[in-house]
Structure 1
Amino acid sequence: MSNSVTLPHAPRRSLVESTIELIRAQIESATWKVGERIPKEQELADMLQVGRNTVREAIRVLSHANVLEVRQGDGTYVRSNVDPAEVMRRVSRASLRDHFELRAMLETEAARLAADCRTKADVILLRRLLKEREDKREREAFVDADLRFHSAIAQISGNTALAELYRYFSNTVRLNTLSALDDAGLPEPDQQAHIAIVDAIERQDGEAAALAARAVVAPLIAALAAEGRSSQ
């Protein structure tokens, strides 16, 4: 690959992290496409005006994230244009409103699918988890119980991709739920709203289950919208 490619110089404040960000930007913008070999270490070092060791460490980190693939004796290739860790960092920086809108999408469809797939044992499990949620008084224990309930619905949905996505997203769910609870101006979904989800799942009424799941977070989303909160 030619040395004619010009990249922004890496700021000196955090050379490895800045180099990672700059390499990732080239990949996300498709300057370097999936399956394509990127410039050699020394070429990258010259482009970014950093040391070769800095470039080597950045490549190591991105290789560990499966964004790059180092082929001994051949070079380094773009393996993926998505870095899961970076995606989650961006998700974690989104506003509460953005978070709860995304959560509503996931939980609405999970509840709809769970209504079709549920067994009697699943309903018993959900009611037990609801009771645990109701019994928790300590803030973090309550949020953990709430998360176990919603995670169980995702599992019961029978959609492996949705369940895994929710599990991957669960730590962000937890942190943002804690943030919402700390804001006295935001409504807290009550137990009855959650019971409505399980009742609909037990009846195998997918549409009602989806509406009930949406109703749990809708007041929060409306309150955040009224306050003008966005991702900005």
Structure 2
Amino acid sequence: MPRSANSPPPPPRGQRIRETIAQLRERILAGEWPVGSRIPTEPQLVAALGVGRNTVREAVRALQHAGVLECRQGSGTYVVSTDELAPVVARQLTGDRVTEVIEVRRAFEVEAARLAALRRTPEDLVALDDALAAREAAWHGGRADEFVEADVVLHTAVIAAAHNRLLAELYASFGAALRSSLVETMGGALTAEQYIDHARMVEAIRAGDPERAAREAGAYLEAAPRA
């Protein structure tokens, strides 16, 4: 249908692409297309978003470059991350930068433990207890990948108990890449020297003792770069 004389002019192409990227991002963050799921086809996106094929194509390509989407030949386009910073961080977590990784973990996790001791709620304590129990069970199960996942979940629960949204968002970017890095450095089997107890840190958070919680968090990072 032709545009009438009184209709406003269409937005510039660059603006349409930016707006389409924002719409796609919003739907991903809202959980409409979870990580691991396939997004609608190009014609379906055109119909749903009310823009042209080229605009959709450019928006999808931009999110692919950002590491949010991944095109799989013959299968479709999938959501691989909700966080554009995570792939950037992942590229930095190489084997020759272990010391830097530990320094960044210390910056996040020591302060998070201190804040958690000051701000934890009863719900946070339940989450910490559950995560600690799951970590212990994963250790006794003997599978490195399961233990690393449980370990990250526990540290994420500490971050959540700090109740600092920006800290949580930044740690999410770091933590997503940290999983694969830890699995690689630990190897396929768990050994006794790799185990580091986290119960004392959780107890310090429960006791509301910020200095002891920070000290315990710093101690496990000093003890071993793999836990």
TM-score under structure 1 normalisation?
A: 0.55
CA distance in 2, matches of 1:179, 1:205: 34
* Alignment partner, residue 154 of structure 1: 159
Instruction: Kindly indicate whether residue 197 of structure 2 is the aligned counterpart of residue 174 of structure 1.
Output: no
Match of 1:211 among 215, 218, 225: 215
* Alignment partner, residue 150 of structure 2: 145
Structure 1 residues 124 and 179, CA, compared in 2 at 3 Å: closer, same or farther? same
* Secondary structure in 2 matching 1:95: helix
Shift of residue 86, structure 1, vs aligned partner: 6.6
Match of 1:190 among 177, 191, 196: 196
Query: What is the number of equivalent residue pairs in this alignment?
Result: 148
CA distance in 2, matches of 1:85, 1:179: 17
* Alignment partner, residue 205 of structure 2: 201
Unmatched runs of 5 consecutive residues or more in structure 1: 1-56, 66-82, 224-232
What does 1:128-139 align with in structure 2 at a 5 Å threshold? 128-136=130-138, 137=141, 138-139=143-144
Shift of residue 189, structure 1, vs aligned partner: 3.9
Unmatched runs of 5 consecutive residues or more in structure 2: 1-57, 67-83
Shift of residue 207, structure 1, vs aligned partner: 1.0
Identity of aligned residues (%): 34
Moved beyond 3 Å, runs of 4+: 60-65, 83-87, 183-187
Give 2:196's aligned amino acid. D
- Note if contact 1:126-1:152 (Cα within 8 Å) is conserved in structure 2: yes
Shift of residue 151, structure 1, vs aligned partner: 0.4
* Alignment partner, residue 28 of structure 1: none
Shift of residue 121, structure 1, vs aligned partner: 2.5
Shift of residue 203, structure 1, vs aligned partner: 0.9
* Alignment partner, residue 98 of structure 1: 100
Structure 1 residues 186 and 102, CA, compared in 2 at 3 Å: closer, same or farther? farther
CA distance in 1, matches of 2:128, 2:210: 16
Structure 1 residues 129 and 62, CA, compared in 2 at 3 Å: closer, same or farther? closer
What does 1:23-102 align with in structure 2 at a 5 Å threshold? 61=62, 65=66, 84=85, 87-93=88-94, 95-102=97-104
* Alignment partner, residue 37 of structure 2: none
* Alignment partner, residue 112 of structure 1: 114
Deviates more, 1:178-187 or 1:205-214: 178-187
CA RMSD, Structure 1 to Structure 2 (Å)? 3.2
Residues 125-155 of structure 1: CA deviation (Å, up to 9, x unaligned): 2112111110112211111111110001111
CA distance in 2, matches of 1:197, 1:189: 15
Give 2:137's aligned amino acid. D
* Alignment partner, residue 17 of structure 1: none
Shift of residue 84, structure 1, vs aligned partner: 3.5
Give 2:123's aligned amino acid. A
* Alignment partner, residue 168 of structure 2: 163
Structure 1 residues 85 and 123, CA, compared in 2 at 3 Å: closer, same or farther? closer
